[in-house]
Amino acid sequence: MKKYEYLEHTADARFKAFGATAEEAFANAAEAMFNVMIDTSGINPQITEYIELQAPDLENLLVDWLSELLYLFEVNMVVFSSFEVFDIEKKGDEYLLSAKAEGEPLDLEKHIFDTEVKAVTYNDLGVQITSQGVTVRTTVDT
Amino acid sequence: MDTEGPEIEGIERVDNDIWQVPLGYKPGMRVPGRIYLSDKLFTNLEKEAVDQVANVATLPGIQKFSMAMPDAHVGYGFPIGGVAAFDAEEGIISPGGVGFDINCGVRLIRSNLEKSDVDGKVNNLLDSLFKAVPSGVGSKSRIRASESELEEIFTNGSRWAVEEGYGVEADLTHCEGEGCIEGGDPSQVSAKAHKRGRPQLGTLGSGNHFLELQYVDEIYDPVAAEAFNLKQGQLTFMVHCGSRGAGHQVCTDHLRNLTRAVEKYKIDLPDKQLACAPAQSEEAQAYFGAMASAANYAWTNRQIIMHHCREVFGQQMNMDADELGLDLVYDVAHNVAKLEEHDVDGGKKQVYVHRKGATRSFPAGHPDVPKAYRAVGQPVLIPGSMGTPSYVLCGKQSAMDVSFGSACHGAGRVMSRSGAKHTFRGEQIQKDLSGQGISVRAAHPSVIAEEAPGVYKSSSEVVDVVDRLGIAGKVAKLMPLGVVKG
């Protein structure tokens, strides 16, 4: 199964990510986002960040998840390449996410960036759950 | 294609360069849309951008028209090039009308030098500028602002930099709003935004941000040019950047808050990115305070970058500040919301004007135009893209009637970044530009491909539309000599 695909957008980057479960689709969306910035295939994961989030719905949870990764990238200066979402569950009125992201320290000699992702937008945002699996769709501001 | 009639169904031409998106184009529109385009620019108009103009027209309290400037293209929430004013009492405030890069903007610096003074020196100048101003993804500032200094920057903007020695008093009086939006509220700026902002002060960023060495190629309006202290053949310098991670985080944080407010205040939105709240609500005012803080950070950022550039010029040209005369002509914000007074339906009204990828364009006599320029109108700075001309215009009275005192902000993209990378090779573009006498420095060639001149509309065509509409008048054309890309 394809992990993700990019869609045409004049100013920004838009993609769909797929998974058998929401957890898998969210992890693939993170990989798609980092691959907008940099070819993640050459990254050797040495640092692990654990992430826990909650949001009122799955769409907001997706934005929060990707936004948190951008924040950690910029502040802790870690380029992520490997993502595992352990669990997404609904508890009361909130959706909870627990995950980890692995990467290596930012090294401007080694890491050649294509495009900086500034932020995750709510434009054309979607989380679609069918019997075939989960598709998420998002647009990031570059 | 036939440029006489509308290509996108439902749009009507109402005058030369003015296209109307009528009420009913989308359900819930409260006012019509207005898109300012020449026939040629109309051929690049995307349906999604028109839909975004119509979406903005559905927001509560919108005045007169939902507008798009001639550089308009699809964004999220508002289109890029989108302008809308909302009643300060009955309307809303929306981060979707400002964007993530709060107060992304441009400043123009003049000099006492002529183009010929830097013959054979452009490459050295660019190399030194590239070193002096941290640019690209992951670049870090050499300035270590303390937490209390950062709060001062969020509150007072550029004044902090000038007081710290990164500039002179005239830099403030020649800057939009004197480098500050009043009402900046650091308590509404999250700890995350502080963490992203502190290490990035004085950094250029990446993407379309740049430093550009230019010369005045042509003067169209000698009176305004004299007021702006611009002469033919003169060397000038342009800085384009914004509020960096601090602004991106402010937008992210408050957008999240406002998506909740949309439910609370029962606002019906066609696009989640238009999340907003009633202008006087706690949520909207919290965003406004944070947005103003990020705008103030951006002005400080450009001020510090300009200071470092002045130092480089001094060293490279072996001249002191008076000889160089590197004075700020003006600095304009592209992505902000401001509380302004405008004439609406024959009366004066307080409105929150949102400009997303648009420039303020206030005319002669307006009290917010610096005294030195009040007789001619504020400078409006329209950067080109590498290899294409930039323009200096001045604000005109028609802008107050037609566009809530606004003009375009640049050329506007016509090709995606990925499309650009498939179409152009950075090395080739760099070589082609070099053949035209334009040197380019960038962290990586792919940045040059993404920002190739061919991915943008013609800046000349865009500027001619605002000139014909009388919302800003052409003053001078600037040609590039060298560019440092973020």
pLDDT digits (tens, 9 = 90+) for B98-130: 999 999 999 999 999 999 999 999 999 999 999
Strands B18-21 vs B277-278: parallel, antiparallel or unpaired: unpaired
Is the predicted pLDDT of residue A123 greater than 90, yes or no?
no
**Residue A113 forms beta bridges with which residues?**
none
DSSP 8-state assignment for residue A74: H
Is the predicted pLDDT of residue B412 greater than 60, yes or no?
yes
Distance of CA B235 to the CA centre of its chain: 22
What does the pLDDT look like over A89-121, one tens digit per residue?
Answer: 999 999 999 999 999 999 988 888 888 899 999
Residue B199 tokens, joined? 């290490």
- Local confidence band at B485 (pLDDT 50, 70, 90 cut-offs): confident
Asked whether B378 and B366 are in contact (CB, 8 A), the reply is yes
* Domain assignment present for A74: yes
Residue B168 tokens, joined? 């002179």
Residue B222 tokens, joined? 């000698």
Q: A120 and B80 in contact by Cβ < 8 A?
A: no
Any A CB within 8 A of B98 CB: no
* Domain assignment present for A98: yes
CA B444 vs CA A87, A112, B136, B209: distances in Å: 38, 7, 9, 14
Please give the positions of B annotated as active site. 409
Q: How many domains does chain A have?
A: 1
- Local confidence band at B458 (pLDDT 50, 70, 90 cut-offs): confident
* Domain assignment present for A3: no
Q: What is the pTM of this model?
A: 0.96
Is the predicted pLDDT of residue B293 greater than 90, yes or no?
yes
What does the pLDDT look like over B55-71, one tens digit per residue?
Answer: 999 999 999 999 999 99
Any B CB within 8 A of A5 CB: no
Q: Which chain A residues have a beta carbon less than 8 Å from that of B137?
A: 37, 113, 116
Of B73, B137, B443, the CB nearest to A10: B73
Compute the average pLDDT of residues B8-16.
92
Q: Tell me what percent of chain B is helix, strand and coil, each rounded to the nearest 5.
A: 40, 25, 35
Q: Which of A35, A114, A120, A127 to mutate to test the interface with B (most CBs of B within 10 A)?
A: A114
Q: Which chain B residues have a beta carbon less than 8 Å from that of A59?
A: 272
Is the predicted pLDDT of residue A10 greater than 70, yes or no?
no
Any B CB within 8 A of A39 CB: no
Any A CB within 8 A of B244 CB: no
* pLDDT value, residue B178: 97
- In sequence order, the 6+-apart residues with CB closer than 8 A to the CB of B86 are B59, B60, B61, B62, B63, B92, B93, B279, B351, B352, B354
Helix ranges restricted to H, chain A: 22-37, 58-76
The answer on whether A115 is annotated among ligand-binding residues is no
Please state, as a whole number, how many other Cβ atoms lie within 10 Å of the Cβ of residue B14.
12
- In sequence order, the 6+-apart residues with CB closer than 8 A to the CB of B101 are A118, A141, B242, B243, B247, B248, B335
* Domain assignment present for A5: no
Query: Look-up: residue for tokens 């040629």?
Result: B40
What does the pLDDT look like over B214-226, one tens digit per residue?
Answer: 999 999 999 999 9
Residue B326 tokens, joined? 């590197």
> What's the half-sphere exposure (Cβ side, CA atoms, 13 Å) at A70?
31
* Domain assignment present for A105: yes
Whole domain around residue A92: which residue ranges?
11-139
Least Cα distance to B203 among B255, B257, B132, B114 occurs for B132
For B382-444, give the secondary structure using H, E and C: ECCCCCCCEEEEEECCHHHHHCCCEECCCCCECCCHHHHHHHCCHHHHHHHHHHCCCEEECCC
Any A CB within 8 A of B272 CB: yes
Compute the average pLDDT of residues B126-138.
92
* Domain assignment present for A70: yes
- Local confidence band at B6 (pLDDT 50, 70, 90 cut-offs): very low
Helix ranges restricted to H, B318-372: 321-324
Q: What mean pLDDT, rounded, does chain B reach? A: 94
The CATH number of residue A120's host domain is: 3.55.10.10
* Domain assignment present for A115: yes
Q: B419 and A8 in contact by Cβ < 8 A?
A: yes
* Domain assignment present for A68: yes
Q: B252 and A10 in contact by Cβ < 8 A?
A: no
Please state, as a whole number, how many other Cβ atoms lie within 10 Å of the Cβ of residue B331.
28
Residue B372 tokens, joined? 């030195």
> What is d(CA A117, CA A102) in angstroms, rounded to the nearest whole number?
18
